[in-house]
Structure 1
Amino acid sequence: MAATPVLTRPSARRQAAPARSARRPEQRARLRRRNVWIYAFLLPTFVLYGMYTLYPMIASYWYSLVEWNGFTADQRFVGLSNYRAVLADPMFWSAVKITLVFMLIVAPLRVFGAFFLAILLNSPKLRFSGFFRTMYFLPVVTTTAIVGVVMRFVLDPASGPLSFLSQLLGMGPIDLLGSTSSALATAGLVYVWKFFGITLIYWLAALQTVPRDLYEAARIDGANAVQTFRHITLPLLIPFLLIITVLTVEDCFHAFDLMQTMTAGGPFFSTEIIEIYIYRYAFAATIPQLGFASAAAVLFGLLVLVVVGVQLWATMLARRSGARA
C-alpha cells in the first residue's frame, strides 16, 4: 500500500520561517568572526609584501626621474635624463644582449630536456620513478646563492675537483668560469641543473591530464610507442608547451643570485646580465647612482613585458590556427 505523503500545515511553515531567519544573523556573525581571523593572519603578509615589494616597485619609477646617491636627502629632479643616459650606454646594450643569449641557452634546455625526461618518468614500466623525480627536484629547494658558491668551488681551476680530475687525465687545469667564451654557457648549464626540477614538475602535471583510455585504445588498435606519442601525447600537450615556455622564459630573466655568486658579471663583463648591471650602479659603485640604476630597472621591466607579450601573442595565434584546423 502506497504511503500517504505528509503535508506540512501552513502554520508549521510560518513557525519554521522565523526560526530560519533567526539563525541567519547568527551565521552571518559567525562568518564575520571567521573572516576577521583570516584577515588578521594575512595582515603581516600584506604589510611585508607592500613594504618590500610594492613600495620599492612604485618608488623606482620616481627614483628614475631624479639624481640621487641614496645617502643624502637631496634628490634633484632630472626628468628623462637618466633614461637617455642608460640608452646611450654601450654596457647597457651589452647586458641586454647577454641576458637574451642566456635566455636562449637556458629556456630550450629546460623546456625540451624536461619534456623528454618527463615522458620517461611518467612511464608505468619505469621502476623507482618516484625516487628519480625526487632526485631531480632536490636542487630546486637548495638556496641559489649556496649553489653558486659551491659550483664556483667545484669549477675552480686551482683547487676544484673538476680541475683535479682533468689533471689526473693529463688534460691540464680547466678554467670554465675564467674564460669569456665559456663562462656564460657554464653558468647557464648550472642554472638549468638548478631549476630543471620545476619544469619537470610542470610536464609531469601536464602528462597526468592525458586520459589513460586513449593509450589503452591505441594499444588495442596496434599502435606502437612512437605512433602513440605522435598522435596522442604530443597533440594534447601543445597547449601546455606554450604555457610552460612562457613561464620558463620569464624565469630566465631572474638569475641574479646565481650569476652574482658564480661570476659577478665577469670575466670582462662577459656574464653581466641586466640585473648585475643594475646592481653595479645601485650598490657596488663607490658613489651609487640610484636614479640611473632605477631607470635601467624600469627599462628592464619593459623588456620583460615585451618578451612576455610577444610570447602571449604567439600563443593566441597558435590557438587560433589550431582551432581553425
Structure 2
Amino acid sequence: MPSKSLYQVRNEPLGALGMSRSAKRKLWAYVFIFPQLILFLVFTIYPIAMSYVYSMFEWSGLGPLENFAGLRNFGELIAEPNFWNAFRNSFIFMSGTVILQLPFALVLAIILNGKLKGKTFYRTIYFLPVVTTTAVVGAVMQNIFATDSGLVNHLLLQLSLIGEAIPWLGNGSYALAVLIFVSSWKWFGVKMIYWLAGLQSIPQEVYEAATIDGAGNWKAFRFITLPLLMPVAAVILLLSVVDGLHAFDLVKVMTNGGPGVATEMVDLYIYRFAFSGVGSGLPQIGYASAAGIFFGITVFVISIVLGLLVKWTNGRNG
C-alpha cells in the first residue's frame, strides 16, 4: 500500500468536527477579519448608504425622517453659486498641489536615490512634515503668514522686497495660493517616497548598460528613467488627485474658507451645512448629503478615468 504524501497527512480530517488543518486556518482567518469587517460595515458602508437616504429628505438631524424632498436637494445644490465656487476652489487647490509636488518630488527623489552622502538623513528631514498633525501645521503657518506679525512679511520687509505688509490670508487670491503652498510642503515627503519606490524598482543593470553605450545622465533619464516610471507615475497621479480634492483640516484651521468664501472647498461647504446650521440656524443634513454624493460621484468618475490611464500605461509597458 503506497504511503501518504505530506500534503495528504496535513489535510486529513482532525478531531470530532472533521475539519482539516487547512480549514481550521481559514476559519481562524475569518475570525480575525470579522471585527474589522463589522467596523467597516458600521462606520463606512452604513454611513454611505444612509447619505443617499438623507439626501432625499429635508432633515436637520433631529427627529424622524418625515419631509420627503425627492431630488429637490440636488436641484437646489446645482443652482447654488456658492457650491460651484467651492467646487472650483477644490479643483484649483488640487491642480496646484499636483503641479507643485510631483515634478519637484521626482527631482529630489532622483537626487536622494543616487550616491549622496547622508541621504537617509535628508529623506527623514523631508518626510517629517508628513507625520506632523495637519492642525498643528495649519496653526503654525497661520502665524507665519500673518499680516502684521508674520515671519514671511517681516523677512520680505527686511530685505526690501516689498514696501508694505501683504495680507497673505486676508486676500482671496493670496490665501488660496498660500494654502496650495503649505499643503504641497506638508505632503511633499509622501510623493518623494512614491517616486523613490518607483526609481528603486528600475534594475541598475539597465543604467550600467546605458553607461557602457555612452549615454549621459540626461539621456539615461529621458530614455530609461521616464519610460520605466510611467506606470508608477500614473498611480502617483491618481493618488495625488484624489488626495488633493480633500483639504478640510488645513483650510479649516488656516482660513476657515475665508476671506468670504474665497478659499472654501467642497469638504468645508458640506461641513457648514451638516454641522454649523448655515442660514436657518439648524443643520441641513439632507442638503449636505446631496452635496457629498454629488462631489463623491465626481471624484469617483475622475478615479475611474485615471484608473484606466494606469491600466493603459501598465499594458503599454508590460
Relative to the length of structure 1, the TM-score reads: 0.87
Cα gap change, 1:319 to 1:36, in 2 (>3 Å): closer
SS in 2 for 1:191: helix
Structure 1 window deviating more from structure 2 (22-31 vs 127-136): it is 22-31
**Conserved 8 A contact 2:12-2:21:** no
Deviations 1:23-61 (A, max 9, x none): 722395555555555444444333333222221111100
Structure 1 window deviating more from structure 2 (259-268 vs 308-317): it is 308-317
Cα gap change, 1:21 to 1:227, in 2 (>3 Å): closer
SS in 2 for 1:239: helix
SS in 1 for 2:74: helix
**Conserved 8 A contact 2:11-2:21:** no
Cα gap change, 1:23 to 1:109, in 2 (>3 Å): closer
SS in 2 for 1:66: coil
Cα gap change, 1:71 to 1:159, in 2 (>3 Å): farther
Q: Quote the residue 1:228 is aligned against.
A: 220
Q: Quote the residue 2:13 is aligned against.
A: 25
Structure 1 window deviating more from structure 2 (98-107 vs 160-169): it is 160-169
SS in 2 for 1:151: helix
1:237, CA displacement in angstroms? Answer: 1.1
Structure 1 window deviating more from structure 2 (25-34 vs 73-82): it is 25-34
* 1:72 equivalent among 63, 72, 77: 63
Q: d(CA) in 1 for partners of 2:6 and 2:158?
A: 89
Q: Quote the residue 1:254 is aligned against.
A: 246
**Conserved 8 A contact 1:218-1:228:** yes
Q: Quote the residue 1:57 is aligned against.
A: 48
1:111, CA displacement in angstroms? Answer: 1.5
Q: Quote the residue 1:147 is aligned against.
A: 137
Q: d(CA) in 1 for partners of 2:6 and 2:251?
A: 68
Runs of 4+ in 1 over 6 A off after TM superposition: none
- AA partner of residue 95 (structure 1): A
Deviations 1:263-287 (A, max 9, x none): 1111111111111111111111221
SS in 1 for 2:12: helix
Deviations 1:98-147 (A, max 9, x none): 111111111121111111111111112x1111111111111111111221
Q: d(CA) in 2 for partners of 1:311 and 1:173?
A: 42
- AA partner of residue 137 (structure 1): F
Q: d(CA) in 2 for partners of 1:289 and 1:221?
A: 67
**Conserved 8 A contact 1:162-1:174:** no
Give the alignment's Cα RMSD to 1 decimal: 2.6
1:313, CA displacement in angstroms? Answer: 4.1
SS in 1 for 2:38: helix
Structure 1 window deviating more from structure 2 (102-111 vs 84-93): it is 102-111
Q: Quote the residue 2:96 is aligned against.
A: 105
Cα gap change, 1:17 to 1:265, in 2 (>3 Å): closer
**Conserved 8 A contact 1:166-1:174:** no
Higher-Rg member (1/2) = 1
Q: d(CA) in 1 for partners of 2:113 and 2:239?
A: 22
The answer to whether residue 299 in structure 2 is matched with residue 304 in structure 1 is yes
Q: Quote the residue 2:155 is aligned against.
A: 165
Cα gap change, 1:319 to 1:73, in 2 (>3 Å): same
**What stretches of structure 2 of length at least 5 have no aligned partner?**
none
State the identity %. Answer: 42
1:22, CA displacement in angstroms? Answer: 8.4
Cα gap change, 1:210 to 1:18, in 2 (>3 Å): closer
**Conserved 8 A contact 2:274-2:284:** yes
Deviations 1:265-316 (A, max 9, x none): 1111111111111111111122111100100100001110222233234455
- AA partner of residue 298 (structure 2): L
Q: d(CA) in 2 for partners of 1:83 and 1:160?
A: 42
Cα gap change, 1:91 to 1:284, in 2 (>3 Å): same
Instruction: State the aligned residue count.
Output: 310
